Amino acid sequence: MQIRLRNEIDLDGQLEVVDQVFPVDVKEKDGSLYLLYTNDEKEKVAIKCGEAELTMTRFSNPKSIMRFLADGEAIVTIPTPMGIQHFVTHTKGYQLDRENQSVLLAYDLKGLENQLLFASYQMEISWK
């Protein structure tokens, strides 16, 4: 089975598309779906999907955790070249479709303190 992550990133009017495919293990536990794969940097990644929340954990050093709440905001911590940065994800759309094996996720990434928009994302995750 493979996971496909297609992400359209709008960074201040510049559009970038990232399209990646990796082998994936899919598990279900306590009503949540877990997608487990290894990225291009050889880091293990776990995506946990529920009906109203998605969490993406990248087991890098330090660990990176992105959290998305359906129609809500969540504080996230991301390692960057400038050190650990704190952001807010503002989820504008979240749809888990178990039958068609896909997740649609639209969100803005904003600065924690200043709430300034860093980038907007349209992501589709599918597994087949």
User: How far, in Å, CA of 93 to CA of 95, rounded?
Assistant: 7
The secondary structure of 99-126 as a DSSP string is: TTTEEEEEEEEEETTT--EEEEEEEEEE
pLDDT tens digits along 57-109: 999 888 889 999 998 999 998 888 888 888 999 999 999 999 999 999 999 99
pLDDT tens digits along 35-66: 999 999 999 999 999 999 999 999 988 888 99
The residue count of the chain comes to 128
User: How far, in Å, CA of 59 to CA of 69, rounded?
Assistant: 21
Residue 25: band (very low, low, confident or very high) from pLDDT cuts 50, 70, 90: very high
Sketch out the chain's domains with CATH numbers.
Answer: 2-127 (2.40.128.20)
